[in-house]
C-alpha cells in the first residue's frame, strides 16, 4: 500500500478528467472519512468517493486501504444527537467542518450532506463522514452555493442539539432569525448561535459563510462561549530539612497565575516550578533562586509579547522556551558574578494554558499527575542510575549508591545547556494517558486532576505507594498535601532539603 502522511486523503485527482483516486482511511485518527458498508468494501469505496463521471475500475492501479469503524460508531441517531452535551456537539461539528474544509482545499465538493451519510459516536461525541456519493471536483469559479450545499447541514445539527427539537427548515429559520421576539420565544438566545445559523442557512447576504474557514471560525466562537475556565488552587512548602550537614535550603519554588479575557473566553494561565540547587553551598542556593526568578520573568514576557492562542496552542513549546531562556539567564548570572559561578540546579517547570499543560524538565526533580486514583510520573529522571537502566547495566553496590546521587543534566551558572537536553513529558505518557497528541499539543488537563512538583528530598524519601496514598488522601486540599509530603520526609531524617508544590484543578 502507498503510505502518505495525510490521514484524510492520500491522493485525489486534481483535474476532472483524472480516472482514479487513492484513499487512506483511518478509524483511529481525526478528522477522517469512514465507510460502514458490507464486506465488498472495494466496490463501496469506489462508489462513494470516486467522481460520478469517472468511477474507479475494479482493477484500479492504486491500492486502497480501509479500516472499518470502531464498533461504538453507529448510524446517525437524531435522538442521541439532541441529547449530546452541547460542548461535545460543538467539538464534533468542528471536526466535521475541518474534514469538509480539507476536501474543499483539495478541490472537491460533496454537493450537499445528509445525516444518513454520517456516523455518530455518542460516547465521545464525534461525528464522522461515512459516505460521499455525490463527490465531484469543485467548480473552477465556485459561487457561494457550492459551499453552502456542503455546510447547510450545520444549521440543522446545531439547531437540533441546542434546542432539542426538530429543525424547522431553512426558509422558516431565515424568517425566525430576522425577528428578535421570535428568537427569544424559541430560545435561540445563546451567544454566537444565531450568528452561526445565519451563516449556514442561506448562501445569500452579508452574513452568509463563503468558505469553510468562516464556518470553522463561527464554530470556534460558539465553542469559546461554552468554555469555563478551570480553577487552579495552588500551595507549596519548602524546608531546609533536619539533616545535620544541611546548613541552608538550596531548593526554590515559585508560581504565577494570570487571568485574561480573550475573544469572550476567560483564559487562566499559570507557571509553576521547582529547582534543587547543587554545587557549592552558596552557589547551589543562588542558582536555584535565579532559575525560579528567571523562569517566572520569562513566562511574564511570553504572556506580554505573544497572543493568547500561542500559549494555548503550543504549551510544550512555550514551556521549553522558558527553560532555554532560564538556562541563558543562569549563564549570564555566572558571567557577571565570577565569584558565584560554580552553581547548578535541577529545574522542572509546568505551564498551564487554558485546558492544556506543557512541561520543561532538567535533572531529578519530578512532576506528577494524580488522575482519578492513579499517580503518573510526568517527567523522566536525568540520573546516572536511569542511564544504567536504559543500557540494561546492573551496577555494583558502590556504583548503585553513586549513580542514584549523580545528576546527568542540570542548569549551570557556568555554561548554557544545549536546548536538545531540555526534556518535556516522559516518552511513555501518550500510551499511559491515552492521549496520542500529548507531545505535540500538551497534556489535556481536566477537572479533578492534581498536579504535583517535588524535589528529590521529597520523592527520594517516600515510596511511590506512599506518595500516591498521600495524594489521594489530600487531593482536595493542596496545602495539606504539601505539608503531609514534607512531614513524612522529615520523619525519615533524609539528607536533603524538601520541597513540594501542588496544583488542584477544578
Instruction: Kindly state whether residues 217 and 307 are assigned to the same domain.
Output: no
* 235, 298, 365 from 255: Cα distances, Å: 9, 12, 16
Examine residue 5 and state whether it is found in any structural domain, yes or no: no
Q: What is the pLDDT along the chain (506 residues), one digit of tens a residue?
A: 223 223 333 233 333 333 333 344 333 333 334 433 333 433 444 444 444 334 434 333 333 333 444 666 778 889 999 999 999 999 999 989 988 888 888 787 888 899 988 888 877 778 877 766 777 788 877 678 899 999 999 999 999 999 999 999 999 999 999 999 999 999 999 999 999 999 999 999 899 999 999 999 999 999 888 877 789 999 999 999 888 778 889 999 999 999 877 666 777 899 999 999 986 556 889 999 999 999 999 999 999 888 777 888 899 999 999 999 999 999 999 888 777 667 899 999 999 998 899 999 999 999 999 999 999 999 999 988 777 777 777 777 766 665 566 788 999 998 899 999 999 999 999 999 999 889 999 999 999 999 999 999 999 999 999 999 999 999 999 999 999 999 999 999 888 999 999 999 98
Boundary of a domain, candidates 226, 245, 271: 226
Instruction: Kindly state whether residues 77 and 196 are assigned to the same domain.
Output: yes
CA dist., res. 387 & res. 317, Å (int): 25
Examine residue 17 and state whether it is found in any structural domain, yes or no: no
- CB-based contact 125:73 (threshold 8 Å): no
Instruction: Kindly state whether residues 352 and 285 are assigned to the same domain.
Output: yes
**HEC letters along 230-293:** CCEEEEEEEECCCCCCCCCCCEEEEEEEEEEEECCEEEEEEEEEEEEEEECHHHHHHHHHHHHH
> How many independent structural domains does the chain possess?
2
Q: Which of 364, 367, 360, 293 is nearest to 330 (CA)?
A: 293
The DSSP output letter for 418 is P
The model carries a pTM of 0.71
Boundary of a domain, candidates 196, 211, 226: 226
H or E element, residue 370:
strand 366-371
Boundary of a domain, candidates 183, 202, 226: 226
Instruction: Kindly state whether residues 207 and 258 are assigned to the same domain.
Output: no
- β-pair type (251-262, 265-279): antiparallel
Q: Give DSSP secondary structure letters for 45-95.
A: HHHHHS-TTSPPPTT-SS--EEPPPPTT-EE--HHHHHTS-HHHHHHHHHH
Instruction: Kindly state whether residues 101 and 49 are assigned to the same domain.
Output: yes
Examine residue 16 and state whether it is found in any structural domain, yes or no: no
Q: Which of 153, 13, 170 is nearest to 76 (CA)?
A: 153
Instruction: Kindly state whether residues 247 and 381 are assigned to the same domain.
Output: yes
CA dist., res. 327 & res. 429, Å (int): 26
Torsion from C-alpha of 161, 164, 166, 171, nearest 10 degrees: -60
Strand partners, 280: none
Distance separating the N- and C-terminal Cα atoms of the chain: 46
Domain containing residue 273: CATH number: 3.60.40.10
For residue 118, give its domain range: 24-226
**HEC letters along 279-315:** ECHHHHHHHHHHHHHHHHHHHHHHHHHCCHHHHHHCH
Instruction: Kindly state whether residues 210 and 275 are assigned to the same domain.
Output: no
Amino acid at each position: 500500500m502507498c503510505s502518505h502522511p495525510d490521514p484524510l486523503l492520500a491522493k485525489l485527482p486534481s483535474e476532472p478528467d483524472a480516472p482514479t483516486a487513492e484513499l487512506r482511511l483511518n478509524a483511529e485518527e481525526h478528522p477522517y472519512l469512514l465507510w460502514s458498508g458490507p464486506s465488498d468494501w472495494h466496490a463501496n469505496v469506489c462508489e462513494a468517493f470516486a467522481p460520478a463521471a469517472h468511477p474507479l475500475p475494479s482493477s484500479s492501479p492504486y491500492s486502497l486501504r480501509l479500516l472499518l469503524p470502531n464498533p461504538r460508531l453507529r448510524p446517525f441517531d437524531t435522538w442521541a444527537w439532541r441529547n449530546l452535551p452541547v460542548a461535545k456537539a460543538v467539538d464534533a461539528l468542528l471536526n466535521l467542518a475541518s474534514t469538509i474544509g480539507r476536501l474543499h482545499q483539495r478541490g472537491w465538493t460533496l454537493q450537499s450532506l445528509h445525516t444518513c451519510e454520517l456516523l455518530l459516536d455518542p460516547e465521545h461525541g464525534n461525528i464522522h463522514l461515512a459516505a460521499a456519493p455525490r463527490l465531484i471536483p469543485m467548480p473552477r469559479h465556485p459561487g457561494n452555493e457550492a459551499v453552502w450545499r456542503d455546510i447547510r447541514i450545520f444549521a440543522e445539527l446545531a439547531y437540533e442539539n441546542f434546542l432539542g427539537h426538530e429543525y424547522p427548515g431553512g426558509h422558516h429559520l431565515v424568517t425566525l432569525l430576522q425577528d428578535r421576539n421570535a428568537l427569544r420565544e424559541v430560545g435561540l438566545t445563546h451567544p454566537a448561535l444565531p450568528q452561526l445559523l445565519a451563516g449556514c442557512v442561506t448562501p445569500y447576504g452579508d452574513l452568509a459563510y463563503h468558505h469553510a474557514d468562516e464556518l470553522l471560525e463561527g464554530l470556534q466562537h460558539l465553542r469559546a462561549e461554552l468554555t469555563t475556565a478551570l480553577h487552579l488552587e495552588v500551595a507549596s512548602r519548602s524546608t531546609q530539612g533536619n539533616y545535620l550537614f544541611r546548613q541552608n535550603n538550596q531548593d526554590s519554588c515559585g508560581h504565577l497565575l494570570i487571568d485574561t479575557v480573550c475573544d469572550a473566553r476567560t483564559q487562566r494561565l499559570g507557571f509553576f516550578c521547582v529547582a534543587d540547587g547543587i554545587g557549592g553551598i552558596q552557589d547551589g542556593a543562588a542558582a536555584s533562586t535565579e532559575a525560579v526568578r528567571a523562569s517566572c520573568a520569562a513566562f511574564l514576557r511570553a504572556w506580554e509579547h505573544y497572543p493568547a492562542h500561542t500559549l494555548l496552542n503550543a504549551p510544550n513549546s512555550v514551556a521549553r522556551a522558558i527553560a532555554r531562556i532560564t538556562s541563558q539567564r543562569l549563564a549570564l548570572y555566572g558571567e557577571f558574578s565570577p565569584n558565584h559561578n560554580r552553581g547548578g540546579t535541577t529545574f522542572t517547570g509546568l505551564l498551564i494554558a487554558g485546558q492544556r499543560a506543557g512541561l520543561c524538565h532538567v535533572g531529578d526533580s519530578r512532576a506528577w499527575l494524580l488522575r482519578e486514583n492513579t499517580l503518573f510520573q510526568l517527567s523522566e529522571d536525568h540520573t546516572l542510575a536511569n542511564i544504567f537502566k536504559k543500557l540494561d547495566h546492573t551496577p555494583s553496590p558502590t556504583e548503585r549508591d553513586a549513580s542514584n546521587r549523580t545528576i546527568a543534566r542540570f542548569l549551570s551558572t557556568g555554561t548554557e545547556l544545549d536546548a536538545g537536553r531540555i526534556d518535556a513529558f516522559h516518552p511513555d505518557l501518550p500510551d499511559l494517558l491515552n492521549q496520542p497528541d500529548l507531545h505535540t499539543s500538551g497534556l489535556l488537563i481536566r477537572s479533578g486532576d492534581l498536579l504535583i512538583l517535588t524535589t528529590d528530598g521529597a520523592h527520594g524519601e517516600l515510596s511511590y505507594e506512599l506518595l500516591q496514598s498521600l495524594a489521594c488522601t489530600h487531593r482536595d486540599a493542596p496545602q495539606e498535601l504539601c505539608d503531609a509530603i514534607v512531614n513524612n520526609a522529615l520523619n525519615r531524617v533524609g539528607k536533603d532539603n524538601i520541597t513540594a508544590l501542588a496544583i488542584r484543578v477544578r
